[in-house]
Amino acid sequence: MERKFELLEHRADAYIASYGRTLQEAFENAGLALFEVMTD
């Protein structure tokens, strides 16, 4: 399974690393990560 994003440790902010084969795919995966942070 391909890794789409990582949630990284940070005290004050949401800190993510997103991955993708293209820049567009990386931005899409960053959006998924942001949604996960907001709904956690």
Query: How does pLDDT run across 1-33, given as a tens digit for each residue?
Result: 588 999 888 888 889 999 999 999 999 999 999
How confident is the model at residue 2, as a pLDDT?
82
pTM, entire model:
0.78
pLDDT at position 14 is 83
Residue 21 structural domain: 5-39
Domains: count for the chain: 1
Six-digit token string for 20: 């993708």
The pLDDT, as a whole number, for residue 35 is 94
CA distance 26 to 22: 6
Phi first, then psi: give them for residue 12, nearest 5 degrees: -110, -25
